[in-house]
Amino acid sequence: MTPPAEPAHKSNAMRWLPLAAFGLLALLLLAGVILSRDGNREALPSPLIGKPAPAFELPVLHEAGRLVTSQELAGAPYLLNVWGSWCPECRVEHPILTKFAESKRVRVIGYNLKDEHSDALRWLEQFGNPYWLVLTDYTGETAIDWGIYGAPETFLVDGDGIIRWKHVGPMSEATIRDELLPVLAEVEAR
Amino acid sequence: MLPELGQVALILALLIAALQAALPLVGAQRGIAPWMAIARPAAYVQLLLVGLAFAILTYGFVDQDFSLRYVAENSNSLLPLAYRYTAVWGAHEGSLLLWALVLALWTAAVAHFSQRLPMPVIARVLGVMGVVSVGFLAFLIFTSNPFERLLPAVVEGRDLNPLLQDPGMIIHPPMLYFGYVGFAVPFAFAIAALLDGKVDARWLRWTRPWTNIAWAFLTVGIALGSWWAYYELGWGGWWFWDPVENASFMPWLAGAALLHSQAVTEKRGSFRGWTLLLAIATFSLSLLGTFLVRSGVLTSVHAFAADPTRGLFILIFLGIVIGGSLVLYALRAPGEEDGKSFEPYSRETLLLANNLLLSTACAMVLLGTLYPLLADALELGKISVGPPYFALLFTLLMAPLVLLLPFGPVTRWQREQVSKPLAMLLPWAGLALAAGVLAFFFAPQGSWKVAAGVVGAAWIGAGTLRFVWSRLRNPGSRFTAEMLGMTLAHLGVAVFLVGALLVEGLNVQREVAVKPGQTIEVGGYGFRFDGVEQRQGPNYKADYGTVQVFADGAPLVLMHPEKRAYASGGQVLTEAAIERGFTRDLYVALGEPLGGGAWALRVHIKPFVRWIWAGALLMMFGGLVTATDRRFRRVDTPPREVAR
């Protein structure tokens, strides 16, 4: 006669149900964490990649009164790096960018976004100026054309004025080695 | 030097928390009194240390110490003083520090107000809270250090996210955290009971006020978030079923179920295992909410911080705390046999229905929130479930809850004849239906929603007041704080229903291009656009619009919608102008400039929208008033037999 044991057994199994449910949930969350490690999952590809860089005319930081247009930069590739003295991550990126700029593979152009003129000059004096040329955009109007969210952001534009690569956030040495250099090699090969 | 002191304080707090977790728990299991006695002082010292760290970080903001990376990233020299205090919890690291501080506060409060509880109980409870604290402090120190230096210091900081530079945002996160973390108390009591092996009605009675207070804080926290979204995001909506909103709504639903099941278990001894499981689930959902928001696994408009390492850390922590609790539950949960029996129609049955509906709603929200992740993980593509899913299922689940709600208070425990409460409430049901029919025919639009809102609100309101009347009329019966709290909270549900459904049904919205001097008619009001001027704020430039509102041809009010461009980071924010009213809000938001002085203007008339938050406030007061019931403070006497 075992009927009394039957319900007890059943209720024992029931007690593990919440744990089993949580186990499944945890697996799903683990999958979520692994997926979100892949930075590209969330990164929206810039609609500008493969398209001509927006036309612009911007003042030069170190030469009052001089304006540079997008046409003047055409003919050879350049790397446009958005920065500001107000941007802590730019400081993190700065030595890495400087090291890359010293390799002279490509013109590195600074894009000084929403800054104060004197702050920007002081910042470059303090940390060194790796840029071939620094453009300024203190109203942020041209930045809208480029789809710039903030700083740092970096664009690679080829000799035909086409945007070939974009990176949001500070570049690491790995970013430069694994992402920028292959695209740059491709651009130079043409 | 101060930040280093803050760092040291955090590390010491972690060590103390480890002590508070280990010694009292082992001491209670083995009956070693001195080890158990460590629990209380450890809780106080921990509060002191975490409080010190928090104060130092706050000082860093006020003093604008841009050598701290966190300060540099979340404030700048233009930031007004008030926001420098609140910028402390403006991003990930500070939010977590606030979490840890709130936990330390609750722990110290439990230590202080538990003098009459037996030592082994309180040692276990504080021990469990210590375990939670270890997890959060370790998370802070190892993955999210707020005291990290940036050397040499930057000249100027970036700014606090402009969305957060707002009075509503000052108190939203602390309230939310008080709610989330407050559920650690019933959780710790549940674990203590499981460790102890006996689920005593006395511990339950003692935890009920804590659950109520936590739930009240969570209610007001969620309401503040909704209110903030309403006036700050410029869309005029008040709830978006956004993952972050859902993350706070799930513990709220589970907590609401817990409030009710605790009442049954405390008074009748039934649902013991279920109440324990709910206590575990409610706090687990609070932790899950923290995980979802902080790991960036789900993206949303709120995605302020995303970091996979952090995600992994919290996930492991979740696994230990929740997994461990559920293993303990499976091994030690009491059977359901020992409660007092009840018949199919009784208050127990109604509260069981309440619990089923609320938990199902909670599971539905969980499923909807995680479904996009599931789809992504199984490579079914990127799917968003969206408001239609939530709104439909939530309405379906809440409708029976609204229908049954008035029956609960007027139905007796254990056994009741269906006819009695039915006879009591039927006239009021008739009245509510009549009001609904009237509303249906008089509503200019959205008749079904308006009628549903009026019927639901009138039914709950009248039914609840009928209960109050029958208690007051009978000189022999008492009206306790617990009943008053319940009445307030249930009336809050009625008020909320008016707001939620009437604004859904009657909202009038127009988006138009206007030139200065032009007048548009919306919902019986005239809005004359008087142009836009430039204004300079402390850390932003604003397009400052002026709109003259007319009612029946007479000037009513001047409204000033703004668009603010913040100096750093360049985010542009809409500041909608809102003319508040008891029965309607006028809502004007500035869109894009269209050239030639013309602007896009968004005008809403939002009837009864304020009632949404008023209802939430009533629910909050309900929770707080319930918590003051004297009965909860008695520890020694057996549960009172309910007067028949």
Nearest to B439 by CA among B524, B502, B522: B502
What's the pLDDT score for residue B263? Answer: 92
Cα distances from B213 to residues A163, A188, B183, B193, in angstroms, run: 56, 66, 9, 21
B370 touches chain A (CB under 8 A): yes
Looking at residue B201, its amino acid is A
Average pLDDT of the residues in B382-386: 67
Quick one: pLDDT band at residue B384, thresholds 50, 70, 90?
low
Question: 145-174 in B: which are within 8 Å (CB) of A?
Answer: 150, 152, 154-159
Quick one: pLDDT band at residue B299, thresholds 50, 70, 90?
low
Looking at residue A170, its amino acid is P
A94 CB neighbours in chain B (<8 A) are none
What's the pLDDT score for residue B226? Answer: 92
* Model confidence at A39: pLDDT above 50: no
**Torsion, Cα of B468, B471, B472, B475 (10° steps):** 180
Minimum CA–CA partner of A34 in chain B: B308
Measure in Å the smallest separation between the Cα of A144 and chain B Cα atoms: 10
Averaged confidence pLDDT in chain A: 82
CB-nearest to B315 from A18, A26, A88 is A26
Q: Are A84 and A90 in contact (CB under 8 A)?
A: yes
B570 touches chain A (CB under 8 A): yes
Decide if B297 and A42 are in contact by the 8 Å CB cutoff. no
Kindly provide the ipTM of the predicted complex, given to two decimals: 0.84
Decide if A122 and B312 are in contact by the 8 Å CB cutoff. no
Quick one: pLDDT band at residue A40, thresholds 50, 70, 90?
very low
What's the pLDDT score for residue B304? Answer: 36
Residue-by-residue DSSP string for A86-143: T-HHHHHHHHHHHHHHHTTSSEEEEEEES--HHHHHHHHHHH----SEEEEESS-HHH
Rounded CA-CA distance A42/A149 in Å is: 15
Minimum CA–CA partner of B277 in chain A: A18
Q: Could you tell me the two tokens for B521?
A: 């008619």
Average pLDDT of the residues in A65-72: 88
Decide if A91 and B319 are in contact by the 8 Å CB cutoff. no
With H, G, I as helix, E, B as strand and everything else as coil, classify residue B147.
coil
A121 touches chain B (CB under 8 A): no
What's the pLDDT score for residue B153? Answer: 73
Quick one: pLDDT band at residue B386, thresholds 50, 70, 90?
confident
Residue-by-residue DSSP string for A70-84: HHHHTTS-EEEEEE-
The most confident of the ranges B43-47, B61-65, B271-275, B328-332 is B43-47
Q: Are B305 and B294 in contact (CB under 8 A)?
A: yes
Decide if A16 and B570 are in contact by the 8 Å CB cutoff. no
Averaged confidence pLDDT in chain B: 88
Range in A69-78, B333-342, B625-634 the model is least confident about: B333-342
Question: 377-396 in B: which are within 8 Å (CB) of A?
Answer: 377
Quick one: pLDDT band at residue B639, thresholds 50, 70, 90?
very low
Q: Could you tell me the two tokens for B69?
A: 């990376």
Q: Are B46 and B62 in contact (CB under 8 A)?
A: no
Quick one: pLDDT band at residue B379, thresholds 50, 70, 90?
confident
* Model confidence at B301: pLDDT above 70: no
Quick one: pLDDT band at residue A134, thresholds 50, 70, 90?
very high
What's the pLDDT score for residue A42? Answer: 44
Rounded CA-CA distance B185/B116 in Å is: 16
Nearest to B486 by CA among B182, B263, B255: B263
Q: Could you tell me the two tokens for B73?
A: 């990233």
What's the pLDDT score for residue B635? Answer: 56
Measure in Å the smallest separation between the Cα of A180 and chain B Cα atoms: 23
Q: What is the dihedral sign for C-alpha B218, B221, B223, B226? A: negative
CB-nearest to B322 from A22, A37, A119 is A22
* Model confidence at B328: pLDDT above 90: yes
Decide if A114 and B377 are in contact by the 8 Å CB cutoff. no
Average pLDDT of the residues in B20-49: 94
Q: Could you tell me the two tokens for B312?
A: 């992994």
| Residue B519: alpha-carbon gap to chain centroid | 41
Helix (H) or strand (E) holding B334: none
B363 touches chain A (CB under 8 A): no
The most confident of the ranges A41-45, A52-56, B220-224 is B220-224
Measure in Å the smallest separation between the Cα of B72 and chain A Cα atoms: 7
Q: What is the pLDDT of residues B79-113, one digit of tens each?
A: 888 888 888 988 888 989 999 999 999 999 999 99
What's the pLDDT score for residue A72? Answer: 87
Q: What is the pLDDT of residues B221-266, one digit of tens each?
A: 999 999 988 887 767 788 888 888 899 999 999 999 999 999 998 8
CB-nearest to B376 from A35, A87, A140 is A35
Q: Are B561 and B545 in contact (CB under 8 A)?
A: yes
Strand partners, B509: B604
Q: Chain B interface, mutation test: which of A10, A15, A125, A126, most B Cβ atoms within 10 Å?
A: A15
Residue-by-residue DSSP string for B248-289: HHHHHHHHHHHHHHHHHHHHH--SHHHHHHHHHHHHHHHHHH
Average pLDDT of the residues in A173-181: 87
A-B Cβ pairs (cutoff 8 Å, strict): 106
Quick one: pLDDT band at residue B469, thresholds 50, 70, 90?
very high
* Model confidence at B298: pLDDT above 80: no
Rounded CA-CA distance A40/A49 in Å is: 15
Q: Could you tell me the two tokens for B328?
A: 């303990």
Range in A148-157, B31-40, B94-103, B405-414 the model is least confident about: A148-157
Q: What is the pLDDT of residues B140-198, one digit of tens each?
A: 999 889 998 887 777 777 777 777 777 777 788 899 999 999 999 999 999 999 998 87
B354 touches chain A (CB under 8 A): no
B156 CB neighbours in chain A (<8 A) are 85-86, 119
Q: Are B555 and B569 in contact (CB under 8 A)?
A: no
Of B285 and B382, the one with more pLDDT: B285
* Model confidence at A170: pLDDT above 70: yes
Rounded CA-CA distance B319/B296 in Å is: 18
Minimum CA–CA partner of A43 in chain B: B299
Looking at residue A132, its amino acid is W
The CB density around residue B120, as the number of other CB atoms within 10 Å, is: 18
What's the pLDDT score for residue A168? Answer: 78
Q: Which residue is associated with the tokens 């664009």?
A: A155
Pairing state of beta strands A163-168 and B508-514? unpaired
Decide if B377 and A35 are in contact by the 8 Å CB cutoff. yes
Pairs from B560-563 (Cβ < 8 Å, separation ≥ 24): B561/B588, B561/B589, B561/B590, B561/B601, B562/B535, B562/B590, B563/B590
What's the pLDDT score for residue A2? Answer: 35
Decide if B323 and A26 are in contact by the 8 Å CB cutoff. yes
Cα distances from B126 to residues A20, B25, B30, B122, B203, in angstroms, run: 28, 8, 16, 6, 14
B277 CB neighbours in chain A (<8 A) are 18
Nearest to A18 by CA among B289, B328, B180, B286: B328
Decide if A36 and B376 are in contact by the 8 Å CB cutoff. no
Rounded CA-CA distance A96/B485 in Å is: 61
Decide if A88 and B311 are in contact by the 8 Å CB cutoff. no
Q: Are B538 and B80 in contact (CB under 8 A)?
A: yes
Q: Tell me whether the omega of the peptide bond preceding residue A152 falls within 30 degrees of 0, making it cis.
A: yes
B315 touches chain A (CB under 8 A): yes
What's the pLDDT score for residue A47? Answer: 67
**b/e code B228-255 from CB counts within 10 Å (16+ = b):** bbbbbbbebebbbbbbbbbbbbbbbbbb
A119 touches chain B (CB under 8 A): yes
Rounded CA-CA distance B394/B82 in Å is: 39
* Model confidence at B381: pLDDT above 70: no
Decide if A86 and B335 are in contact by the 8 Å CB cutoff. no
Quick one: pLDDT band at residue B337, thresholds 50, 70, 90?
low
Residue-by-residue DSSP string for B568-615: TTT-EEEE-EEE--SSEEEEEEEEEEEETTEEEEEEEEEETTHHHHHH
Q: What is the pLDDT of residues B576-624, one digit of tens each?
A: 899 998 999 999 988 888 888 888 888 999 999 999 999 999 999 999 9
Pairing state of beta strands A163-168 and A107-113? unpaired
Decide if B295 and A91 are in contact by the 8 Å CB cutoff. no
What's the pLDDT score for residue B275? Answer: 92
B280 CB neighbours in chain A (<8 A) are 18
Measure in Å the smallest separation between the Cα of A156 and chain B Cα atoms: 22
Minimum CA–CA partner of B334 in chain A: A15
| Residue B382: alpha-carbon gap to chain centroid | 28
CB-nearest to B570 from A31, A119, A140 is A140
For A125-139, the three-class secondary structure string (H helix, E strand, C coil) is HHHCCCCCEEEEECC
Of B230 and B214, the one with more pLDDT: B214
Decide if A86 and B299 are in contact by the 8 Å CB cutoff. no
Average pLDDT of the residues in B463-477: 89
Nearest to B556 by CA among B583, B526, B587: B526
B299 CB neighbours in chain A (<8 A) are 42
**Torsion, Cα of A138, A142, A148, A149 (10° steps):** 50
Q: What is the pLDDT of residues B395-421, one digit of tens each?
A: 999 999 999 999 999 998 888 888 889
Q: Are B503 and B607 in contact (CB under 8 A)?
A: yes
**Torsion, Cα of B432, B437, B441, B442 (10° steps):** -10
Cα distances from B83 to residues B56, B164, B305, B367, B441, in angstroms, run: 16, 9, 20, 37, 49
Quick one: pLDDT band at residue B638, thresholds 50, 70, 90?
very low
* % of chain B at pLDDT higher than 90: 53
Decide if B306 and A22 are in contact by the 8 Å CB cutoff. no
Of B258 and B342, the one with more pLDDT: B258
Rounded CA-CA distance B201/B196 in Å is: 13
Number of H helices, E strands in chain B: 21, 10
**b/e code A4-42 from CB counts within 10 Å (16+ = b):** eeeeeeeeeeebeebbeebeebbebbbbbbeebeeeeee
Minimum CA–CA partner of A141 in chain B: B570
* Cα atoms in the 13 Å half-sphere on the side-chain side of A95: 1
Residues 6+ apart with CB under 8 A from B20: B38, B39, B42, B43, B46, B107, B126, B127, B129, B130, B133
Cα radius of gyration rounded to whole Å, chain B: 26
Q: Could you tell me the two tokens for B8?
A: 């040291």
Angle at B535 between CA B532 and CA B536, to 5 degrees: 160
Quick one: pLDDT band at residue B336, thresholds 50, 70, 90?
low
Rounded CA-CA distance B337/B328 in Å is: 19
CB-nearest to B297 from A32, A86, A126 is A32
Helix (H) or strand (E) holding B632: none
